[in-house]
Structure 1
Amino acid sequence: MGYLDGLRGLAAAIVVIHHFVQAFLPGMKEIPLLNLLYAGNLSVCIFFVLSGYVLTYRYFKTGDQETLVSGAVRRYPRLLPPVLITILLALVLMNLSLFSNIQAGEVIGSEWLQGFWTFNSSFPDAIGEALWGVWFNGENSYDCVMWTLTTEFTGSLIAFAFVMLFGRQPYRWIAYLIASIYFWDSYTLGFILGVLLADLYHTETPGTHAKPVYAMLLVYGLVLGSWDTITTKNMDLITWIFHLQNNEPLTTVHTIAAFLITLGVLNLPQLKTILSRRVFTYLGRISFSMYLVHMLVLGSVTSTTFLILHNNGVSYTVSVITATLISIPVILAASHLITRYIDQPGITLSKTFYQKLKTDSHTGTRTASLPRE
């Protein structure tokens, strides 16, 4: 499923662009459709829909419940290593005073950029956030993008539990409806819709005549994904349907958009071919690391480079462009290294952990069944 890796990689790249736009163009107005190039919230929703799909599709393909048990047991140790190393890296950067985001934010006029790494850090605090706070308390002091990981972790477990309970039941469609209503205005809806996609994709075989329909749904998803609070704040019907609140992310709208976009990708061969190209699949492989580390680069390398140039008389535009161009290879290199030496070994370690747990469990069961001499 290289094309899904490609979609994930594209979404991760858009999150990076989104944060650079927030940092250096704080007053930029949202332009519908054009803002898809920096639609960070939509991209996060795509992550959640993809997780729901990828974590459960093997079950719908094979009917093997062990894939669900394995995925649930391995989820925490699989996600933890890159998070831990990123938080420790942020701790080092803070202790060495290498973050320049506050000074850069003052020059730019970006309150958003000034808001990070303003607290007193400590090693125990960093470890506690990495091991517990990120996953269960929504903490993101050391890396603001980690606000999504509580949803990623709990949403994954909800997806596994949902499929174990209803995966092959004839009435599961009612369960999908109830779960969708229950999670309607939360990011967890993305996981439910991702599971639904996995179910539909591996139990139904759409005919070729449906391709124009999927293309239309994809376009509609892109239009929905470009909506923001300014677009919708005076649209009473939409506000009522989607529970929109001014100045809040369009959680439900963007989740439905992510569902339609992913549905289109799954059923349009031309789009699969494009997203299977090496540049997108590579971004997909490093996407988790890139998502985690890019804010650290923005707060250090990018901000410092911008300040050096701007303080020496270089124009604002040239300073921003130069700082961004210097930061891109740094982000890619850091993401590559974390993926190769932390993330991929972490995936292997999580599999080993599950196999050992499984072996010990079987050994304990056999020992308990032996008759006493």
Structure 2
Amino acid sequence: MSDTSARITGLDGLRGFASLAVVLYHLTLIARPELSETTWAWLTQSPLKILFPGTESVLVFFALSGLVVALPALRSDFTWTRYYPSRLLRLYLPVFGALILAAVLIIAIPRDPATMPTGTWLRDAQATTVTPVSLLTEASLLRESYDIDNVLWSLRWELFFSLLLPVFVWIAIRFRRASPYLAALAAGATVAGRMLEMDALVYFPVFLLGTIIAINLDGIRAFAQRVHTRMLWPALAVLAGVLLIASWLARPFVENDSGIADVLWGLAGVGAALIVLLVIVWPRLRRGCERPTALWLGKVSFSLYLVHAPILGTLGYLLGREQWWLVCLIGVPVSLAVAAAFYRWAERPSHRLARRVGGYVAQRLEPRTA
């Protein structure tokens, strides 16, 4: 078995940390109305921001998907007839389960939007009612905005990438010899996407960066083994972290609607891809992502990502805006506990079903050999 086909365990831990960071980010949004401007600036415009990046963590997910979803497509036994039904079920079934959970919470615990300040996450990004139409449209993953389960906006892009995977793999293979230039082009494209306010141009290049890593994985590992400068990886880690949150760090000096701010915001995708790359090449970082706690977080990361927003939203309305500190105190353990249960009873069974259906479809559609 080649290195390319081997599972990179540390990436599971990275996914877990990224999911937890999104939870913490949403908690800061709940606390935001009750925090002073000074406190908010201290939290978000300093290196502390690296502990709870929001959309930036989602970009890490996109780079990870570009890598780990593309890797199986490079194996000799891979078939598209097996991939598509399996991948779609792995995405949609947990989404359906999370939406049912969210709908139950919204119906069981009334939400009065008048109790929340205008322009806040609880007011603008959390549904107060659920209808069959809104439930079905969010479940389709084709809407541009989501409020029954706020995080599903990113699953929409995961869906598009999954459907277009043959294109991403073909591009990465076709231009493999020019991979550094292709990666630079992808980095420039995601920056341009921010400047032009084109979401597809922002997110698809981040997936492509992950796919480029997948195509060149063996070469990247071989290069890393030849590197003898111990300070290279820590320096790249600092660079990746700075790029990831550069748009926040620069806010005291740069206008939010300026071109410079857009460039810095676009560089977050480059930082996300660098973080994924570093987990592969830097043993110390990889070992940190392979610790038992990190691997457990990685195991339930998708479930945690799907269920935490409805839970935090419910706690926010149930306890009230003044009790934001209590939402923060109990929101994380409750979200983790529900995620563990959701993984056991919803996500893991859906994965098993997806594998079975994928195998069945492949058996039916693929030509039989004598």
- Normalising by structure 2, we get a TM-score of 0.81
Paired residue type of 2:147? S
**Partners of 1:117 and 1:51 in 2: how far apart?**
27
**Partners of 2:169 and 2:84 in 1: how far apart?**
12
Of the candidates 51, 54, 77, which is equivalent to residue 65 of structure 2?
Answer: 51
Q: In 2 relative to 1, CA 117–256 (structure 1 residues): closer, same or farther, beyond 3 Å?
A: closer
Of the candidates 256, 267, 270, which is equivalent to residue 284 of structure 2?
Answer: 270
Which residue in the other structure is 1:74 paired with?
86
Aligned 8 A contact 2:233 2:278 in 1: yes
For residues 130-172 of structure 1, the C-alpha deviation after alignment (integer angstroms, 9 at most, x for no partner) is 1x2x1x3334131111111111111233344221455266556
Which residue in the other structure is 1:149 paired with?
155
Which residue in the other structure is 1:313 paired with?
none
**How big is the shift at 1:126?**
1.0
Regions of 4+ moved over 6 Å: none
Q: How does 1:1-373 map to 2 (within 5 A)?
A: 1-26=8-33, 27=37, 28-29=40-41, 30-60=44-74, 62=75, 64=76, 66=78, 70-96=82-108, 98-100=109-111, 102=113, 105-106=116-117, 111-118=120-127, 120-130=129-139, 132=140, 134=141, 136-164=142-170, 166-167=172-173, 171=177, 173=179, 184=191, 185=193, 186-204=202-220, 205-206=222-223, 207-209=226-228, 211-228=230-247, 231=250, 243-244=262-263, 251-304=265-318, 306-307=319-320, 316=322, 319-362=323-366, 365=367
Paired residue type of 1:55? V
**Partners of 1:65 and 1:182 in 2: how far apart?**
33
Q: Percent identity?
A: 26
3-state DSSP class of the match of 1:280? helix
**How big is the shift at 1:225?**
1.5
Paired residue type of 1:296? P
Paired residue type of 2:245? S
Q: Which moved more, 1:340-349 or 1:199-208?
A: 199-208
**How big is the shift at 1:125?**
3.4
For residues 265-291 of structure 1, the C-alpha deviation after alignment (integer angstroms, 9 at most, x for no partner) is 211111111111111111111111111
**How big is the shift at 1:299?**
1.4
Aligned 8 A contact 1:84 1:127 in 2: no
Paired residue type of 1:88? I
For residues 197-225 of structure 1, the C-alpha deviation after alignment (integer angstroms, 9 at most, x for no partner) is 22232234021415532321111011112
- Normalising by structure 1, we get a TM-score of 0.81
3-state DSSP class of the match of 2:341? helix
Higher gyration radius (CA): 1
Aligned 8 A contact 1:56 1:68 in 2: no
Give ranges in structure 2 of 5+ residues lacking alignment.
1-7, 194-201
Higher RCO by CA contacts (8 Å cutoff, separation 6 or greater): 2
**Partners of 2:183 and 2:119 in 1: how far apart?**
42
**Partners of 1:155 and 1:104 in 2: how far apart?**
38
**Partners of 1:176 and 1:65 in 2: how far apart?**
28
Q: In 2 relative to 1, CA 193–86 (structure 1 residues): closer, same or farther, beyond 3 Å?
A: same
Paired residue type of 1:23? I
